[in-house]
């Protein structure tokens, strides 16, 4: 295989529809829509060869009743007013340059509104032609499921949701948090999964040529290593987004707007965009150099929300990467296309280790001491559902799926959202208990509408 680059964007949002607004809740979804998904749509429509996964739980929310109107209200009501108030406060203390930047940045939300209206408020429909890969129904961490039946519920629900919404599916399945365990392979293969990404940095070593070669074991799906050497140019504490000219994500005004650059100066959008172009050229050049040394398939995988929301200039950088790849002779390829054109190597090792793309490459982010009680509580709930057998209804299955989402343990371990993630798990487990006792009501309104008890109880 000649050297090629596959950029894989994992598009995901925890289920926040109807669960809080600020500072934790639906506002996360609105910001991702405005800052990441709508800008990315322009890049996709221009023909960029990017592999896009859209999680079923994000799709659940994008098609939920009332979401489009609440998003519009956020743009026209909340964001217009908060920018106005912050700009006035900055001017009152003599920080006119910062106020001018806030007024410029307010235009991002006006642009998002116009772009949203241009697709008739149907963001999911606009993303549909590019949604190649699916994922688990609610982004549950599969190696932490207590049973094969629990894994089947997540996997089958995710696949059913993708087929119902998007039709064709070539078998690409994003393992939540890139969490792989060898015992998952038979369940994945039986569900029709043909390929998934894994992070084997701790196994092969950073920069090993083995990360550039998809592999397959007996009867299992193709395992596609992601290449940390390439990813770390971007998604690392020393990566591009930390440069001085880029917008500082961590410093904000009263209403959490960000008019500063990383170097402490007032943010200059033109300066930052110029640097994004330079970094795109550098990324392509470094990727070419890596592939010249070790020909193969470099997979640069990252969360879609990292581009635009976390790294404000990230979508502009991606757009520039597409242009630089053409200019410098780097072949960008969609992952399914690459896997179809070149067969994977047969895996020499019978078993690979349990691994994730989390801290340490292991499961500790989702099962370590800060969240061990959550992990075991959810596993115990799964076993109770299994023991209930035919008494299990779709409501109980959905509440179990909601509690299994990997997002809650991640947010709790990183202390990113106060008591919100722990409260969410406890609320879903309580609703599960009520469902097992015969109460069919559910707080998870539009969650996992294509998953149900049948997948859980299948042999």
Complete DSSP assignment for 406-424 = HHHHHHHHTT-STTHHHHH
For residue 3, how many C-alpha atoms fall within 13 Å in the half-sphere facing its CB? 18
CA nearest neighbour of 22 among 79, 86, 88? 79
| pLDDT confidence bin for 75, thresholds 50/70/90 | very high
3-state secondary structure of 261: strand
What mean pLDDT is predicted for residues 53-72? 95
Give the span between the Cα atoms of 92 and 456, in whole angstroms.
60
On whether the CB atoms of residues 449 and 68 are closer than 8 A, the answer is no
What mean pLDDT is predicted for residues 2-12? 94
3-state secondary structure of 298: strand
Is the pLDDT assigned to residue 51 strictly greater than 50?
Answer: yes
Average pLDDT, the chain: 93
On whether the CB atoms of residues 377 and 434 are closer than 8 A, the answer is no
Is the pLDDT assigned to residue 450 strictly greater than 80?
Answer: no
- Is beta strand 195-198 parallel, antiparallel or unpaired with respect to 215-216? unpaired
Structure confidence at residue 211 (pLDDT): 96
On whether the CB atoms of residues 222 and 195 are closer than 8 A, the answer is yes
How remote is the C-alpha of 386 from its chain's centroid?
A: 29
Give the span between the Cα atoms of 421 and 415, in whole angstroms.
9
| Residue 302 backbone zone (phi > 0: left; psi -120 to 50: alpha; other: beta) | beta
Structure confidence at residue 456 (pLDDT): 47
Structure tokens at 141: 């961490």
3-state secondary structure of 49: coil
Is the pLDDT assigned to residue 457 strictly greater than 60?
Answer: no
What interhelical angle do 420-436 and 372-388 show, nearest 10?
A: 20
* % of residues, the chain, pLDDT over 90: 85
Number of Cβ atoms within 10 Å of the Cβ of 103: 15
On whether the CB atoms of residues 139 and 14 are closer than 8 A, the answer is yes
On whether the CB atoms of residues 219 and 185 are closer than 8 A, the answer is yes
Give the span between the Cα atoms of 443 and 446, in whole angstroms.
9
Give the span between the Cα atoms of 102 and 406, in whole angstroms.
34
Is the pLDDT assigned to residue 391 strictly greater than 60?
Answer: yes
| Residue 334 backbone zone (phi > 0: left; psi -120 to 50: alpha; other: beta) | beta
**Looking at 33-169, which runs of residues are DSSP E strands?**
50-54, 131-135
CA-CA-CA-CA torsion for 430, 435, 440, 442, nearest 10 degrees?
Answer: 30
85's enclosing H/E stretch is helix 80-92
CA nearest neighbour of 204 among 321, 329, 348? 348
Give the span between the Cα atoms of 407 and 311, in whole angstroms.
20
For the chain, state the CA radius of gyration: 22
Structure confidence at residue 349 (pLDDT): 65
What mean pLDDT is predicted for residues 258-287? 97
Tens digit of each residue's pLDDT (9 = 90 or more) over 327-353: 999 999 999 999 999 889 887 666 789
């Amino acid at each position: 295989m000649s050297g090629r680059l596959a950029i894989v964007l994992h598009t995901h949002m925890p289920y926040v529809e109807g669960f809080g607004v600020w500072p934790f809740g639906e506002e996360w979804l609105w910001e991702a829509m405005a800052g990441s998904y709508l800008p990315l749509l322009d890049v996709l429509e221009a023909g960029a060869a990017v592999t896009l996964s859209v999680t079923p739980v994000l799709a659940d929310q994008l098609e939920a009743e009332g979401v489009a109107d609440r998003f519009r209200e956020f743009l026209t009501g909340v964001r217009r007013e908060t920018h106005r108030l912050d700009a006035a406060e900055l001017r009152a203390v003599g920080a006119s340059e910062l106020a001018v930047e806030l007024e410029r940045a307010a235009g991002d939300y006006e642009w998002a509104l116009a772009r949203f209206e241009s697709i008739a408020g149907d963001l999911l429909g606009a993303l549909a032609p590019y949604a190649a890969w699916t994922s688990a129904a609610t982004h549950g961490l599969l190696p932490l499921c207590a049973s094969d039946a629990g894994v089947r519920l997540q996997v089958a629900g995710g696949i059913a949701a993708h087929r119902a919404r998007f039709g064709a599916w070539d078998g690409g399945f994003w393992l939540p948090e890139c969490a792989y365990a060898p015992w998952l392979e038979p369940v994945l293969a039986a569900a029709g999964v043909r390929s998934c990404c894994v992070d084997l940095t701790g196994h092969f070593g950073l920069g090993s040529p083995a990360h550039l070669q998809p592999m397959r074991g007996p009867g299992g799906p193709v395992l596609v290593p992601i290449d940390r050497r390439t990813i770390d140019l971007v998604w690392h504490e020393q990566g591009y987004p930390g440069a001085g000219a880029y917008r500082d994500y961590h410093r904000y005004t009263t209403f959490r707007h960000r008019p500063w650059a990383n170097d402490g100066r007032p943010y200059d959008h033109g300066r930052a965009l110029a640097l994004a172009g330079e970094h795109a050229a550098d990324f392509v050049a470094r990727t070419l150099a890596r592939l010249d040394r070790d020909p193969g398939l470099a997979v640069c995988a990252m969360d879609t929300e990292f581009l635009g929301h976390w790294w404000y200039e990230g979508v502009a950088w991606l757009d520039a990467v597409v242009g630089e790849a053409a200019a410098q002779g780097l072949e960008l390829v969609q992952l399914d296309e690459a896997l179809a054109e070149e067969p994977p190597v047969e895996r020499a090792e019978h078993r690979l280790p349990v691994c994730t793309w989390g801290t340490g490459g292991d499961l500790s982010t989702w099962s370590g001491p800060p969240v061990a009680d959550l992990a075991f509580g959810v596993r115990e709930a799964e076993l109770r559902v299994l023991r209930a057998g035919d008494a299990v209804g779709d409501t109980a299955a959905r509440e179990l799926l909601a509690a299994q989402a990997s997002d809650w343990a991640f947010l709790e371990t990183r202390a990113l959202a106060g008591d919100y993630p722990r409260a969410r798990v406890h609320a879903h487990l309580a609703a599960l208990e009520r469902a097992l006792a015969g109460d069919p009501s559910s707080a998870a309104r539009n969650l996992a509408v294509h998953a149900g008890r049948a997948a859980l109880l299948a042999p």
